[in-house]
Amino acid sequence: MKVWVKLFIGAVLGMAIGFLLPEENVNIAAALQWLEKFAIGVGRYAVVPVLLFSLIMSVYELRMDDQFWSMVFKNFLVIIAASVFVISSGIFVTMIFSPARIPIEKAEQLDILTLETAANIIDIFPSNMFSVLTGSGIYLFPVFVFAFFIGMGLNYDRNYVKPVITLIDSLSRIFFHVASFFSEILGFILIVLSACWAVNFSEIVQAKVYKDLIIMLGVFSVVLCFGILPLFLYLLKPRVNPWVVLYGSLGPAITALISRDINFSIPVIQRHSKENFGVRRRSSALSLSLFSTFCRCGSAMVAAAAFIVIIKSYTYIRIETVDLILIGIRAFAISFLLARHPGEGAYIALAALCLGYGGGEYRAGYLILKPMAFYLIAIGTFIDVMLTSFGTYLIAKTNNFIHEDKNLRRFI
């Protein structure tokens, strides 16, 4: 059975269970919360070792071919272009199909949600280099920096480092197969996560005040990821079939939407890139690391759209074009600072927009959307993961790092 079919069946079963569960049962809610945390942990379990050793080999191999910095540049070029397009189009759609205002309720307590930018920078270079490998596996950028320096170090003297290269190469392949095993059982894991998804979704649907924003974000994300982005791939030379690429990305799409966690989806993207598209490790590991860290424009776009709705809910004054541009610029900057938040990016970005806009009159604005925070995060993560999957393929295809064009029937 195809991996995406297993994931889809798991998601549908979980949704059915979630919608059938009795409402407002404290014991069931507590059990679901525990199971959700456990399921996310299972999905993240292999992400650090598989990316660590793969990225070390990627840096080493690209350095040997004098292609590393050009590949980094090309990845960032695609990330920046995608971020500008996604955020600006999201703001444009929000202004054209403006969702209804949301009733303002006075917040009794202001949650403290920040980007933790200062802490993020400090954690990149801890006093003990190896301590980045003993973390929780949530903030992966320090691990990527560690892998970068080790990969650079392997170019020192081949006579000395050859045994180490052989060991790291073997570990990379071993952990890839370990991660592949977990991707095979994620269908069962998604039953739990989609049940939680259904319970949360039924609650916000009953509230009705969020209906317009839910529909707008849902429709826009589907049109963007299943229509507009594949069409960009159609412009590649040599010509590719964008719908085949889209089909090969269905597995990551399902895991992203249901798990709402980009780290949960990384091993799935890596396996699909290799086994569906034939992307070589040296390209996929680097692109995955850069896109999952810096290409969070889907979450930033969702935050910008939600923030516009919040402004319209607070005031009837028309939002000027200059203000929209400023919101877009701030959302663009925030999209590069969400690496510490793989599972709550859109809501953290929304809080950052509210806390830093104007004279502070919107500081508590994000609290009016707290009931639907999980949905904002789900849509943002879905777009982020689809961009990562398409971006990984795009970089590999344009740089001849696809070792085999696989037949559709051989897709996992």
Residue 54 · residue 176 · CB < 8 Å: yes
Closest Cα to residue 185, out of 39, 388, 54? 39
What's the pLDDT band for 106 if we cut at 50, 70, 90? low
Dihedral sign computed on CA atoms, order 155, 159, 164, 167: positive
Closest Cα to residue 36, out of 267, 191, 242? 191
End-to-end CA distance of the chain: 8
State CA 375 to chain mean position distance. 14
Q: Which residues contact 343 (CB under 8 A, 6 or more apart)?
A: 40, 138, 259, 260, 261, 262, 263, 264, 377, 381
Q: Which residues contact 141 (CB under 8 A, 6 or more apart)?
A: 120, 124, 293, 339, 340
What CATH number corresponds to the domain at position 180? 1.10.3860.10
81 pLDDT above the threshold of 80: yes
Strand partners, 402: 279
Neighbour tally for 260: CB within 10 Å: 30
69 pLDDT above the threshold of 90: yes
The per-residue pLDDT for range 202-224, each reduced to its tens digit, is 888 887 888 889 999 999 999 99
Torsion region of 27: left, alpha or beta (phi above 0 gives left; psi -120 to 50 gives alpha): alpha
Lookup: tokens for 287: 């692109």
What's the pLDDT band for 237 if we cut at 50, 70, 90? low
pLDDT of residue 184: 87
The per-residue pLDDT for range 154-184, each reduced to its tens digit, is 887 777 888 899 999 999 999 999 988 888 8
Lookup: tokens for 174: 């071993």
What's the pLDDT band for 320 if we cut at 50, 70, 90? confident
Strand partners, 279: 402
Q: Which residue has the tokens 């690391």?
A: 289
125 pLDDT above the threshold of 60: yes
pLDDT of residue 235: 78
Closest Cα to residue 179, out of 287, 264, 56? 264
Closest Cα to residue 150, out of 164, 137, 138? 164
pLDDT of residue 307: 92
pLDDT of residue 26: 75
**Identity of the residue numbered 192:** V
Complete DSSP assignment for 313-374: HH--SPPPHHHHHHHHHHHHHHHTS-TT-TTTHHHHHHHHHHHHSTTSTTTTGGGGGGGGHH
Residue 324 · residue 113 · CB < 8 Å: no
d(CA 167, CA 176): 14
Tell me the residue range of the domain where 191 lies.
Answer: 3-410
The per-residue pLDDT for range 332-354, each reduced to its tens digit, is 999 999 988 998 889 999 988 88
DSSP 402: B
d(CA 375, CA 378): 5
Number of independent structural domains in the chain: 1
